[in-house]
Structure formats: structure tokens, C-alpha cells
Amino acid sequence: MKKIAVIGCGLGGAAITVMLQKAGFNVKVYEQAKKFLKIGAGIHLTPNVVKALSRVGIKDSLMAISSKPNKFLSKDAHTGEVIAELVLDDVFKKQFNAPYLTVHRGEFHALMVNEIIPSSLTFNKKLKEIIPNDNGVYLNFEDGSHDYVDIVIGADGLSSVVRSIVCKDEPPSFSGQAAFRALVDIEQLKRQGIMPDDLTKWWSDDRFVIAYYMNNSRDQLYFVAGFPEYSWPQGIQFLEAEKEEMLKIFSDFHEIPLQILKSAKEVKKWPLYERPAESAWSKGRVVLLGDACHPMRPHMAQGAAMAIEDGAILVRSLETTGLEKVEQAFDIYQKTRQDRVAKVQQISGENSWMRTTPDPTWLFTTDVWNNSLVAKKIISNKF
């Protein structure tokens, strides 16, 4: 039976591995981390990605651990005045056939990893070299081990090793933006007379604070505070930050977001990187998804969503053509995805989503398991 290797078991890699396995494909997934850790903090799961997860089999568990915000509020950073709102009520859920959730990234990740066939997941496997030939792909790992597979899916993120086979291997560039991230105990805010809304973003011209609950118990608030940063040390993923530095940058913000920042526990500072979407997402038997081919800033909360949607469309494309025609499948996959991804990447880069009340229909209505594969019609003509 032909074998597929997924490189990287982050959110996108875990999702496509489960989707492929549940569709009957033979899949192995290699992750460079030494073991699974529930890393990260909050993540938004909008209706489009909740629907994309339908074949992963975690719906009930995900609903049980997630916060279900009743509104997405946008407020003026200085006055606190509401400038836009998106009501996330039962009418919203019925319209888009799925809820809007916020959840702890690590807990969400764990649900997907637990659905992977245990014997197919190997940790501590850092890819060193990838060598395609006419019949398959050799994988050489830094521990000296090897594998030979029929297809490789690069889900190895922003610093992907796999992408060097598909396109020019240029490193991502620092965007000129960074963000403070931290958790806040709700009880501490309550003692100060503050009861935060479910999901709020405060906007100024060049900075923002977004805060939301990230679990069903609603005992912690997670925030991201974005600001201009003109340089970042190369190779550093994040820095420990002093709360005083953060408070100085946001000192002119309204008292509620400022009090949320003051109540933070440990604060870290993260860079925002970017790279234009690649013109080629595949080459031969190798294909990319998620940040490996179209990284985006986090301002629409769609980075993981786009990777998971990628996975669903890639699975459907492989089901359509079979593994004997992988280049045809990859062509269908990219043609189906590229316009949507480009639009999300553009709006994410602008940081304009929800600054005025949007019509989210184009984003949230999508159901990647039931919408047409837009390039399917090319099969008879091109191949």
C-alpha cells in the first residue's frame, strides 16, 4: 500500500494526518519535538474551521472544553467606545452551520493528536534532507534514520525544510510588528471590579489589544497586545518581557485593557514574521500546506484555519484522483485553495478585520468538505 509521510505534527499536520487515516490512506507523521507538549495559549476556531474539523472526530470533546463567545466586540482603544460588533448567537450558528469557539491551543492540539493511530506518529524526528526521485521520496533524519515514501506533505511550518524542494528557500522576514502575550486570572480582575466581555479587540492606529476566554470554565483570560517593533534578533522565537515595557507602550489605552495588561502573569514578546504566498505549492511527489507555503499574520485568527482547510481539500483531491495521479491531485488542491488563501493573507496583513463590522459570509460559509473542488473540471482537459 502506498505510503504518505507528513512532516510536522502541529495543528495542520495533526489535522491532515487524522483526515487521511480516516479516509483509509497509509500515513506516517514525523515531528521534530522530543515529545508532545500542550504549548501555546488561546486560539480562535471560526465556523469555517469547525466545519473543516468534522472528519477529525473531536466535535463533542472540542465543544466541551471551548469557550463560546456571545459577541466579538471592537472598541476604540482610548475611549472604550464600541466601534463594531459581530453577534455570535444561535442565529449566527444556524446561518453558518457551526459555532465560533475560543480554546486553549494545546488542548485543541491534544484532541487531534489523540486521534492519530499511535504507531504512525514518531517524535524526535528532525528532517535533515529530502531527496525525490521518479518513484518516491527519500527522507533522511538528523538521528541517522531514513524512510522512503510515495508522497511527502510538508506541514513543517514557517521554517519548513520540505519547502526547499518545491520553491526558492528564502527565510521569512520580520514584519515590523511584535506582540506581548500573557494569561490573566479572572478572579484577579473581578477583585478590581472588572468582568471582561467574551471577546474584545481594542484598536488604535498602530497598536491593538485583543482579549478572550480560552476555555469552558472561563477562569483565565488570554490577551495579545500588538505594536510596532523595528527590529528583532535573528533566530529568536520569543523573548521574556518586562511588564513595565508593555505598560509604557500601551499607557494611553482605556482603563479596562490597561488593567488587563497590568494583571498579566508572565509576559512574553513574540515577533510576527511574513512571507508572500508561494506561486508553487507542490513539485512532483512533494506538496506543502499551511505556513510552509502561505504564512500569514494572526490578525484574522485564520492561520491554523487555513492550514486545516488546506488539509481537507488535499484529502479530497487525493480521493478524487487516487495516489497514481498525485500531480493532478496537487494541481486541483492548489487551484481550489489559492484565491481564498490570498484574500485571507491580504486582509490579515492589513489588520483590518473587525475594525468595522464585516460581512463574514465569504469566510464563514465555506464548508471545505461539501463546496466544489473548483479545479475538478480541469481533469478531463489537462490530464
Give the CATH number for residue 106: 3.50.50.60
pLDDT at 374: 76
pLDDT at 35: 95
What digits encode the pLDDT tens for the residues 103-131? 999 999 999 999 999 999 999 999 999 99
Domain boundary among 274, 307, 339: 274
Residue 382 has pLDDT above 50, yes or no: no
Residues 268 and 289 in one domain: no
Residue in the block written with cell 512532516: 7
Residues 203 and 124 in one domain: no
Q: How large is the average pLDDT for residues 207-236?
A: 94
Residues 103 and 198 in one domain: no
Q: Name the pLDDT band for 376 (thresholds 50, 70, 90).
A: low
Order of strands, sheet of 121-122, starting from the edge strand that comes earlier in the sequence: 121-122, 26-30, 3-7, 151-154, 286-288, 282-283
pLDDT over 70, % of the chain: 98
Residues 85 and 234 in one domain: no
pLDDT at 40: 82
pLDDT at 206: 94
The CATH code of the domain that includes 232 is: 3.30.9.30
| CA 276 distance to own-chain centroid | 16
Residues 166 and 180 in one domain: no
pLDDT at 380: 43
Query: Has 109 been annotated as catalytic?
Result: no
Q: How large is the average pLDDT for residues 316-327?
A: 96
| CB contact at 8 A, 307 and 289 | yes
Q: What is the tally of structural domains in the chain?
A: 2
pLDDT at 199: 97
Provide the 10 A C-beta neighbour count for residue 290.
32
Residues 142 and 188 in one domain: no
Q: How large is the average pLDDT for residues 318-344?
A: 96
> Which residue did the predictor score with more confidence, 148 or 275?
148
| CB contact at 8 A, 96 and 65 | no
- Per the prediction, the chain carries an average pLDDT of 94
Query: Has 212 been annotated as catalytic?
Result: yes
Residue 383 has pLDDT above 70, yes or no: no
For residues 156 and 126, what is the distance between their CA atoms, to the nearest angstrom?
10
Neighbour-count burial for 144-181, b at 16+ CB within 10 Å, e otherwise? eeebebbbbbbbbbeebbbbebbbeeeebebbebbbbb
For residues 221 and 102, what is the distance between their CA atoms, to the nearest angstrom?
11
Residue 341 has pLDDT above 70, yes or no: yes
Domain boundary among 274, 302, 321: 274
Residues 231 and 288 in one domain: no
Cell triple for 355 = 475594525
For residues 115 and 60, what is the distance between their CA atoms, to the nearest angstrom?
13
Range of the domain at 301: 3-171+275-382
What digits encode the pLDDT tens for the residues 6-35? 999 999 999 999 999 999 999 999 999 999
pLDDT at 377: 52
Residues 97 and 112 in one domain: yes
Residues 198 and 214 in one domain: yes
| CA 59 distance to own-chain centroid | 18
Tell me the chain's radius of gyration from C-alpha atoms.
21
Residues 138 and 26 in one domain: yes
pLDDT over 90, % of the chain: 85
Residue 338 has pLDDT above 70, yes or no: yes
pLDDT at 137: 97
pLDDT at 265: 83
Residues 234 and 298 in one domain: no
pLDDT at 97: 97
Domain boundary among 259, 274, 289: 274
Percentages helix, strand, coil for the chain, rounded to the nearest 5?
35, 25, 40
Residues 157 and 19 in one domain: yes
Catalytic residue among 30, 44, 213, 254: 44
User: Which candidate, 372, 285, 295, 279, places its Cα nearest to that of 334?
Assistant: 279
For residues 232 and 241, what is the distance between their CA atoms, to the nearest angstrom?
13
Catalytic residue among 30, 104, 109, 212: 212
Q: How large is the average pLDDT for residues 39-57?
A: 95
